[in-house]
Amino acid sequence: MKPPNIASRDKLKVIAQRAMIQRGLLPNFSLAVLAETDAIVTAAAETDPSIRDLRDFLWCSIDNDDSLDLDQLTAVELMAGGLVKILVAVADVDAIVKEGSAIDGHARTNTTSVYTAAGIFPMLPERLSTDLTSLNEGQVRLAIVIEMVVAADGTVAESDVYRAVVMNRAQLAYNGIAAWLDGAAAAPPRLAAVPGLDEKLHIQDRAAQAMKSLRHQHGALRLETLETRAVFDGDVLTDLLPDEKNRAKELIEDFMIAANGVTAKYLERKGFPSLRRVLRSPYRWERIVELATRLGRRLPPKPSARALEEFLDERRQADPVRFPDLSLSVVKLLGSGEYVVELPGQQADGHFGLAVRDYLHSTSPNRRFPDLITHRLLKAALGGRLAPYGLDELNGLARHCTEQEDNAAKVERQVEKSAAALLLASRIGERFDAVVTGASEKGTWVRIFRPAVEGKVVRGFEGLDVGDRVRVEITNTNVERGFIDFVRLRRE
């Protein structure tokens, strides 16, 4: 593939910054934020006697190969009767980022880190998020620990939440750990360097598999939308590669889902409000039913996560190549998640896609503001204090976090489209096999397979429908707007 001969990263970063400003997001930190950050010289340390010392546990992090903002660690203990104690330690960001500070104000405005093909626009200054509030290898850090006793069938039999001091023994990466768990590669050096950690990770993996199986029995949806990551040679964009799920990612995902559920229930038991993350029953269920009918499956007239998961599992096995496109259609029809305030005793909507009722965000406080809000509520509950946010303020934050998360997602999609257009700008006239991903009055879209990018069919789209295989030629790209134009070809 011939790369574009321009400084791709810089061009995409300008597009990203402009898109962020247009959507009410701050791409840069203010002088006040930078001054506050410069004044922080060490990680937080406290002497509260209720804070447990758990530094002797074999804690490890598993994240992306290039992640520096480490939010959580995991550890495990075997118990009698086939039970397993899973511990999730989450960075105590609030110990440094105080409510009302300039740093907190920036985080409250954006509410999330923005991950674009041009690079990351972090919610917190990198000196904090990748160092002083990050659970880096070999560093002693304050954390909030979610403890779960998991039975062999994946149920959480007991749970607790408390503060602790922890230390990461090994900073591990998804791809290396997944290959090792699958038996396709030797243990990564950082894993092999910590005696006993390999067996601990095998125990974690078995527990996670049981928890995942139980969730899917309840109807949790296994969707596989095609996401890509930008590959650069220096500052020149060279490819967009699929970012696929693997066993290590699923291990962390299963533990985080469970930890978020435990946190939600803990706040409710303590009589505290919580900022729940909900995905309501899909309002376009009838369209999902129609989509399934076209593929030979009858779904019930009322939304059923279990029935939908059975249909998805059937299609995954029957047509794995087109399954990501079916997943994308279902995701769009399910609608977007949102943040809502739940008071103790209320029965708010749960998360339809995860098939859980009690769910919030608490495990990524370096990257998401709702998690930081939850930690402040948790620490107040643990300390016997009043909630730090009033109900009206929490409701306003719920709306704001939902809006800004949506804005951030739109920025990320815009930059991804611009990256795709930039990557293909030098390939006008080339021909590709493609699959139709969208067909409506607004237009017809196709996805080519390598690189995995999407564009609009501007000529020859008549009669095409979602799932059709076609041969297309690139006729035009517009990097600023993220447009790629194709024309349909008759089979060669």
- This prediction has a pTM of 0.88
3-state secondary structure of 8: helix
How does strand 52-53 pair with strand 156-173? Answer: parallel
Instruction: Please report which confidence band the pLDDT of residue 491 belongs to, taking 50, 70 and 90 as the band edges.
Output: low
Q: What mean pLDDT, rounded, does the chain reach?
A: 90
Asked if residue 133 has pLDDT above 70, the reply is yes
Instruction: Please report which confidence band the pLDDT of residue 492 belongs to, taking 50, 70 and 90 as the band edges.
Output: low
What confidence score (pLDDT) does residue 326 get? 78
Closest among 106, 144, 148 to 126, alpha carbons compared: 106
> Which of these ranges, 302-306, 320-324, 474-478, has the smallest mean pLDDT?
320-324
Polymer length of the chain: 492
Asked if residue 209 has pLDDT above 80, the reply is yes
Asked if residue 441 has pLDDT above 50, the reply is yes
Asked if residue 62 has pLDDT above 90, the reply is yes
User: If you search the block for the tokens 């995942």, which residue do you land on?
Assistant: 212
Number of neighbouring beta carbons within 10 Å of residue 444: 23
How does strand 454-459 pair with strand 483-489? Answer: parallel
- Where is pLDDT greater, at 101 or 346? 101
> Which of these ranges, 77-86, 311-320, 396-405, has the smallest mean pLDDT?
311-320
Instruction: Please report which confidence band the pLDDT of residue 235 belongs to, taking 50, 70 and 90 as the band edges.
Output: confident
What confidence score (pLDDT) does residue 61 get? 97
| Structure confidence by residue, pLDDT tens digits, 160-171 | 999 999 999 999
User: 321: burial class by Cβ within 10 Å (0-12, 13-18, 19+)?
Assistant: exposed
Phi and psi based region of residue 103 (left: phi greater than 0; alpha: psi -120 to 50; beta: remaining): alpha
What confidence score (pLDDT) does residue 1 get? 44
- Tokens at 388, concatenated: 């730090």
Closest among 255, 403, 386 to 337, alpha carbons compared: 403
What confidence score (pLDDT) does residue 465 get? 79
Instruction: Please report which confidence band the pLDDT of residue 4 belongs to, taking 50, 70 and 90 as the band edges.
Output: very low
Backbone angles phi, psi at 2, to 5 degrees: -85, 115
Asked if residue 221 has pLDDT above 70, the reply is no
Asked if residue 347 has pLDDT above 80, the reply is no
What confidence score (pLDDT) does residue 348 get? 66
**Stretch 92-98: mean pLDDT, rounded?**
97
| Structure confidence by residue, pLDDT tens digits, 366-394 | 999 999 999 999 999 999 999 999 999 99
- Tokens at 163, concatenated: 């503060």
Cα–chain-centroid distance for residue 117?
16
| Structure confidence by residue, pLDDT tens digits, 63-78 | 988 888 999 999 999 9
What confidence score (pLDDT) does residue 7 get? 61
**Stretch 450-454: mean pLDDT, rounded?**
86
Task: Report d(CA 455, CA 457) in Å as an integer.
Answer: 7
Instruction: Please report which confidence band the pLDDT of residue 3 belongs to, taking 50, 70 and 90 as the band edges.
Output: very low
Are 437 and 455 contacting, i.e. CB atoms less than 8 angstroms apart? Answer: no
Closest among 400, 411, 407, 283 to 339, alpha carbons compared: 400
What confidence score (pLDDT) does residue 301 get? 85
What confidence score (pLDDT) does residue 371 get? 97
What confidence score (pLDDT) does residue 195 get? 96
Task: Report d(CA 246, CA 253) in Å as an integer.
Answer: 11
Angle, CA 123 vertex, CA 106 and CA 350 arms, to 5°: 105
Asked if residue 223 has pLDDT above 70, the reply is no
Closest among 444, 438, 448, 477 to 461, alpha carbons compared: 444
**Stretch 101-128: mean pLDDT, rounded?**
96
**Stretch 280-293: mean pLDDT, rounded?**
80
**Stretch 1-14: mean pLDDT, rounded?**
70
Could you tell me what percent of the chain has a pLDDT over 70? 94
Asked if residue 139 has pLDDT above 90, the reply is yes
Architecture of domain 428-489: Beta Barrel (2.40)
Asked if residue 224 has pLDDT above 80, the reply is no
- Tokens at 2, concatenated: 């011939």
173: β partners: 63
Which DSSP string do the residues of 42-105 spell out, in sequence order? S------TTSEE-TTS-EEEEE-TT-----EEEEEEE-GGG-EEEEEEEE-GGGTS-TTSHHHH
- The full set of domain ranges for the chain reads 8-279+339-420, 285-335, 428-489
- In order of 34, 286, 296, the CA distances from 311 in angstroms are 51, 15, 10
User: 371: burial class by Cβ within 10 Å (0-12, 13-18, 19+)?
Assistant: buried
- In order of 275, 343, 394, the CA distances from 271 in angstroms are 13, 8, 15
Could you tell me what percent of the chain has a pLDDT over 90? 64
Please name the residues in contact with 335: beta carbons below 8 A apart, sequence gap of 6 or more.
279, 280, 282, 283, 284
> Which of these ranges, 177-186, 320-329, 440-449, has the smallest mean pLDDT?
320-329
